[in-house]
Structure 1
Amino acid sequence: MLLLFFVDVCAHAQNASPDLLNNVLHQLSQHAAVRAAFTQQRQNPALTQPQTSSGQLLFVTGRGMLWQVQQPYRETLALTGSRTLRIDASGHAQTVHGDRGVSQISQMLQSMLAGQLDTVLRQFNVTAEGSAAQWTLHFTPRQSRVAQVLRAIQLDGGAFLQGIRIDMQDGTQTDIRMTDTRDAGTLSAAEKQALGLP
């Protein structure tokens, strides 16, 4: 489901590098629109087997993310600002209500991929490890109400974001790996409509 972008964080504060964090965010923000294939594996303590899904992801700076699950079912979700919309096959959108944690994570990712460090740091404590060519970022929530739901997030990548791991307080872990990440090129009419683009 959409506990999307959800590693135990071994937050090595002594390795945190403001320069590395700034370099990573600058590097990611160079791509105004990005496409990738994703595979998501979600482990829930209440289930004996992990849940796996796969599909396509589109991120557009300043507009949001389009999350298109293709296996084992078909579902399209548009995450714009603080809103999550479910879009049916005919293009009609319905608001998905509820999960504060999902909204917070979505906004953090959108801010980070747009290079908006101040916005990210208002919501999360961040540490960085590695180099601009291969980095890992650790996030822990600053707000107590978010921390009651979300334990930590870990992102890794190079020129593009490659992986997201999310650790929830209830023991649920979500691991998302991205492949074939590239600049998005021309968006389709349906993609523009879903993200509210002209």
Structure 2
Amino acid sequence: MTTSTPLPSRAAPPEAGPDAAAIVAGLKRETPARTAYTEVRYSGMLDRPLILRGELEYLGAGRLGKRVEQPYREQTTIADGSATIRRGEREPRTFALGQAPELEGFLRGFTALLGGDAQTLQHDFTLTASGSAANWQLQLKPRDARLARRVRAIEVDGANGTPRCFRTHEGDGDLAILLVDTLAATKLTTRPAKSELDLLCRGAPAR
């Protein structure tokens, strides 16, 4: 009796990772675009995270609006190279972005994301992607040393063409996590753990 020699198995080729530029292109929003948000800020100066809720407004390149509705009321408008902040009934404060080049670089990056402009984004940040096309994460690291001292990295989690979270890792170790779209209405405890939000951002169901 003869025995046949088994054919060597062929391993399936590894699945290609998501294309960062294609993900950014899929994030493009028509203006004006508005979305509710919940922001959780972790700071070494606070004994517990600060939780803000409100609405973001994207009005085109270099133009953003951010309204805080809870736990206080504040409106920030960025347009034409300047930022205006008004809290409650106080007189608004306006300053030129040129006075804070690192803020200007951050703004260019954020609006380039919402504008689906990978070319502009890669001018100011190194851009990498991980995960899959259906469940991805983008990581942006500033090229400019001044911005890098203020912002170490920005991470964006999303699914298909919809972002879920924006994380801003600040130079002093503080962290801001912005939950948007379907996660904006997530009920949180008064002291949400970073690990809990990481699971939400990566698509795990809330517990």
Higher RCO (C-alpha 8 Å, min separation 6): 1
Partner of 1:95: helix, strand, or coil?
A: strand
Q: Is the 8 A contact 1:16 1:128 kept in 2?
A: no
Q: Find the counterpart in structure 1 of residue 43 from structure 2.
A: 44
Cα 1:30–1:69 change in 2 (3 A) is: closer
**Which blocks of at least 5 consecutive residues in structure 1 are unaligned?**
1-14, 182-198
How far apart are the structure 1 equivalents of 2:92 and 2:102? 21
Distance of aligned partners of 1:166 and 1:125 in 2 relative to their CA distance in 1, 3 Å threshold: same
The corresponding residue for 1:32 is: 31
**Does the CA-based 8 Å contact 1:84-1:103 persist in structure 2?**
no
What whole-Å deviation, never above 9, does each CA across 1:82-133 have from its counterpart, x for those lacking one?
422224779x864146654433222201012112222111111111112333
Quick check: 1:162 aligned with 2:164? yes
Normalising to structure 1: TM-score of the pair? 0.72
Deviation at 1:71, TM superposition (A): 0.3
Q: Does 1:111 find its partner at 2:112?
A: yes
Supply the AA of the counterpart residue of 1:117: A
- Give the structure 1 partner of residue 7 of structure 2: none
Q: Unaligned stretches of 5+ in structure 2? A: 1-14, 184-207
Q: RMSD across aligned C-alpha pairs, in angstroms?
A: 2.7
Deviations 1:144-187 (A, max 9, x none): 12112211110112322221111111111101101359xxxxxx
Larger Rg: 2
1:89-104 maps to which residues of 2 (within 5 A)?
94-96=93-95, 99-104=100-105
Q: Which residue of 2 aligns with 1:147?
A: 148
Residue 137 (structure 1) aligned with residue 138 (structure 2): yes
